[in-house]
Amino acid sequence: MAELTTHTERPTATGWASPYVALVSSRLRSQFAYRRSFALDLLGSFGVGVIEFAEIYVIFSSISVLGGLDFAGLALLFALSNISFSLADLLVGHLDRIPTYLRAGTLDAFLLRPLPVLAQLVTSDIQLRRFGRTALSIAVLVVALVVNPITFTPATIALLVITPIAGTAIFCALFVAAAGVQFWLIEGSELANSFTYGSSYASSFPTAIFTLPMRVLFTFVVPAAFTAYLPTLLILDLPGPAWTPAWLGWFSPVAAIVSWVAGMLIWRAGLRHYTGAGS
């Protein structure tokens, strides 16, 4: 629908990006307007990261190796997984509010504007407060890089650069796919959360602890293992468990592209299915 409208009808003096720049900057201005409130939200997001890390801390207070990784290794895995997920959550996490838009009929307003609906939705509510969790993950990453026995070769550094980018892209694609499914499910936001947050949770643990069907599910169906676990194995120079060897870690960009294709197909099918709230 909205995609069919051509952009040439608009005054495009400053290029195609200008409406998005305007949207994003208005969101950022409104979020910075109440500074103390924003600071508290950042702290809250940081706190969520602390809860997540507490789990690993408590588990490792009584054991020393989990799924082939020690505490330092798991901290690296946690950091990579959480950096990607929190960045995806910051960029597109608000897509899980689609059920509210559908119920209230506010989605129709987006359909009327001459810009792709998904791009509008993404730029309309970027949540900078979620950077709190990213900040915690980056801190954990720095410590993990120091305490793990890592030989910094060009390959390791390339992995450390590629992994968060590919991981963020994969989680973004999962959010988009989950949002696309919402067009069929009414009141299904929690279901979508189990898909996105569940993948994020699974990705912060070594896939080796799962049974084979779950390992295959979280590697080849939902590519959670590509966001952190497989690259972590490569960085730490460890072999992978059966069916998911470590060298797969180099393929996280491929997993990201495949996820995006699948996510966009689901999103487009969902949007075509949408018939309006009658408002």
Partner 1 sequence: MSVATLAVLTQTGWRRWSTYRSAALAGAVTNTVFGLIKAAITMGAVGAAGGQLAGYGPIEGATYAWLAQALIGPVNVFWSNDLVERIRTGDIAVDLSRPVDPQLAYLSADLGRAAFTFLPRGAPPLLVGALVTGLALPANLLPYLLGIVSIVLAVIISFACRWLVSLAAFWIIEMRGASTLYLMASNILCGLIVPVHWFPDWMATLAAATPFPSMLQTPIDVIMGRDTGLAALWLIGVQVAWALGVLLAGQLLWRLGTRKLVVQGG
- For binding to partner 1 (CB under 8 A), which residues are involved? 36-37, 40-41, 43-44, 47-48, 50-51, 54-55, 58-59, 61-67, 185-191, 193-195, 198, 201-202, 205, 209-211, 214
276 in helix, strand or coil? coil
Residue whose CB is less far from partner 1, 19 or 99 = 99
Residue whose CB is less far from partner 1, 13 or 63 = 63
Burial of residue 64 (number of CB atoms within 10 Å: 0-12, 13-18, 19+): exposed
Q: How far is the CB of 62 from partner 1 (least distance, A)?
A: 5
Q: How far is the CB of 96 from partner 1 (least distance, A)?
A: 12
Strand-pair partners of 65: 70
Q: How far is the CB of 174 from partner 1 (least distance, A)?
A: 13
What distance in Å separates the CA atoms of residue 167 and residue 141, rounded to the nearest whole number? 15
Residue whose CB is less far from partner 1, 3 or 55 = 55
Residue whose CB is less far from partner 1, 80 or 129 = 129
Q: Which of 246, 195, 194 is nearest to 225 (CA)?
A: 246
| Tokens read off for 212 | 């084979």
Residues in contact with 43: Cβ distance below 8 Å, sequence separation at least 6, in sequence order = 132
Q: How far is the CB of 120 from partner 1 (least distance, A)?
A: 26
Q: Phi first, then psi: give them for residue 152, nearest 5 degrees.
A: -80, 95
Residue whose CB is less far from partner 1, 53 or 267 = 53
Residue whose CB is less far from partner 1, 15 or 239 = 239
Helix, strand, coil percentages in the chain from 3-state DSSP, rounded to 5:
75, 0, 20
Q: How far is the CB of 66 from partner 1 (least distance, A)?
A: 5
Residue 250 DSSP class: G
Number of CB atoms found within 10 A of residue 277's CB: 13
Residue whose CB is less far from partner 1, 71 or 110 = 71
91, 169, 235 from 80: Cα distances, Å: 17, 13, 11
Q: How far is the CB of 43 from partner 1 (least distance, A)?
A: 7
| Tokens read off for 157 | 């550094």
Q: How far is the CB of 254 from partner 1 (least distance, A)?
A: 25
243 in helix, strand or coil? coil
| Tokens read off for 265 | 């197909």
Sequence letter at residue 60:
F
Q: How far is the CB of 151 from partner 1 (least distance, A)?
A: 26
Residue whose CB is less far from partner 1, 16 or 57 = 57
